[in-house]
Structures are given as C-alpha cells and as structure tokens.
Amino acid sequence: MEGFLRYLRQERGYSPHTLRAYARDLRDFGEFLGGRSLLEADLQDLRAWIMHLRAKVSARTVARKLSALKSFYRYLLKRGFLQETRLLVLSGPKLSRDLPRVLTVDEALALVEAPQGEDFFTLRDRVALELLYGSGLRASEVCGLRLGDLHLGARLVRVRGKGRKERLVPLGRKTLEALRAYLPVRKSFLESRGKESEHLLLNRQGEALSPRSLQRLVKRYARALGLAGVHPHALRHSFATHLLESGADLRSIQEMLGHSRLTTTERYTHLDLGHLSRVYDAAHPRALAQRPSQDKDL
C-alpha cells in the first residue's frame, strides 16, 4: 500500500487530499476482510463489500471507493503481485448525472461583491471569490497559488491543477483590482506578525489558507445572501456556464478549467432550454422571427 501511495504521489501527482482518501478506502476494505490480506480478496469479496457499503453510503461514494480499490489492484497487476484480472472488471453502481448547482449572473456577482471593507480578511475574501468565479479555479488551486504565479501585467495566473499539470488562466479586470488592493495589505499583515510566506491567500496565522477554510468562507457569504447549497465548485460551474451562454466555445472553456476531456467540461456547463431557444432563433436560418402566440391548427 505504501508503494502504491508513493506511486500516486510521485508519478501521478495526486494531491494529499486524494492520497488520504485512497489510503482510507483501502484500509476500510482491509477491515471488511477481517484481517485477511488485500491480495487474498476475490470477486465475491468485492461484491459483498459493495453490498455492505450500499447500505451505509451513497452510490457516488461507493463508486469512488471501488475506483480506488481497482486502481490499487491495477498497480499490483502491472508489477506482477497479482494475477487475478477479474477484480478489475467489476462495475460500480450507476450514477445519476445531476446538474451541478449554478448561480445566476446576478447571484454570482452579488456573492463575489459581498466582502465590503479595507481590512486584510475582507480584501483576502474578495480575491478568493474573484478567482473562483472570475477565473473558474478549483478550491485547491486557489489555495495553492503563490505570489510568483501572478502575472498582473499580462493579466494571467499560472495554475497547478490535477496531476501537477500547469496552465495559464486569464485574470478579469475586477480580479486585478481586487489583487492590487489586497497585495499591499497582505504585506503589512505578514510584517505585523514577523512572518514570511509566498502563498497568496493566508489564514490568521500567516500560513496558507486551506481548501476547507475556503469552503467555509464561501458558505458564510452565501448564507448571508440567502443562497443555499453554494460551495467553491458552484462558482466554478457558474464560471463555465456563463462563459458558454455568452458565446465562448467549449474548447476554450476546457482549457481554462484544465480538463483533460471535453466530456468533463460538458458536465460543468448548464444551459437552460430558454437560452437554447434564443440561440436557435438568433442563429439558425430556418428559425422563426416571431413565434405564434397560439397554435390553433395543431
């Protein structure tokens, strides 16, 4: 297991959060086996484990745990520790393709502009929200930003995404304004505590802001506006959807989001039928200029 986790960290570039989740999932299956080695497990054990999990957790959690286990067995198979290939063919539960929570433009703007003030924490919060919605970054990417990643003159930020992949993402005008207001105050904040840090967003101790703290930050401002079910990824979803609705092509959005597959980007965008109808009426040569108010002959 240690070799597997080391492989995920060093060769696949998995985040510490993902590594902890994989280790926990493998330990859970080991406990289910009652002390038997994971190498001794067979297809029947896996099926029994899935049935055991379905009574306790959601289908999405079951699918994630099964994916972690199959990755482990695939690693063992490639290194000659395992000959049982049937463990890799077991399918997980079918997942519903629920649309993500997407804010309206007015809701997103109200949330991003909610932090009002000139103190360190308010300015920091404004930068965080601007990066989530204005550039569509993941929570972990926002928290991982360093001062050297900012290229304010070029209006770009270098982002380290999943698998240590780097990409350049544009910074909007409002994000630039928020950064230029925050950076001098950030410097004074560190000096007052006698600390140094290259991380862009800092907590009260002058250390890097954690994704969990960022999640709490977003929820706090959302609750104050009466917005339920809002988390950092909701702003990322809204970023992609609003770009697409404004005419951006899907490939460009894919590049900004850092998705390897276009199908992943498609899941992050949400277009209502009203918007599709407006696009059709405006662009298709056979579209009707005016819809009849009543279809009496139908």
Q: Is 255 helix (H, G, I), strand (E, B) or coil?
A: helix
Average pLDDT, rounded, for the chain: 85
CA angle, residues 72, 73, 75, in degrees to nearest 5:
65
Q: 8-26 b/e with 16+ CB inside 10 Å = b?
A: beeeeebbeebbeebbebb
Annotated catalytic, 270?
A: no
Extract the tokens encoding 196.
């140094």
**Residue 283 confidence (pLDDT) above 90:** no
58-64 mean pLDDT: 84
Q: Which of 158, 199, 233, 267 is catalytic?
A: 233
Annotated catalytic, 233?
A: yes
Q: Which of 126, 236, 242, 270 is catalytic?
A: 236
Annotated catalytic, 268?
A: yes
222-232 mean pLDDT: 92
Tens digit of each residue's pLDDT (9 = 90 or more) over 12-49: 878 788 889 999 999 999 999 987 888 888 888 888 98
Give the right CATH number for 105-274 from 1.10.443.10, 3.40.630.40, 3.40.50.300, 3.30.420.140. Answer: 1.10.443.10
Beta strands (DSSP E) in the chain are: 150-151, 156-160, 166-170
Q: Which of 65, 186, 231, 259 is catalytic?
A: 259
pLDDT for 97: 59
Q: Which of 74, 162, 174, 267 is catalytic?
A: 162
- Same fold yes or no, 2-88 and 105-274: no
More reliable by pLDDT, 85 or 193: 193
Give me the residue spans of the domains in the chain: 2-88, 105-274
Q: Which of 14, 22, 268, 270 is catalytic?
A: 268
Q: Which of 65, 126, 138, 160 is catalytic?
A: 138
pLDDT for 62: 86
Give the right CATH number for 2-88 from 1.10.150.130, 3.40.640.10, 3.90.550.10, 3.40.50.1820. Answer: 1.10.150.130
CB count within 10 Å of CB 221 equals: 20
Distances (CA, A) of 166 to 13, 70, 158: 12, 27, 7
Residue 137's closest CA among 114, 109, 178, 167? 167
Tens digit of each residue's pLDDT (9 = 90 or more) over 116-153: 999 999 999 999 999 999 999 999 999 999 999 999 99
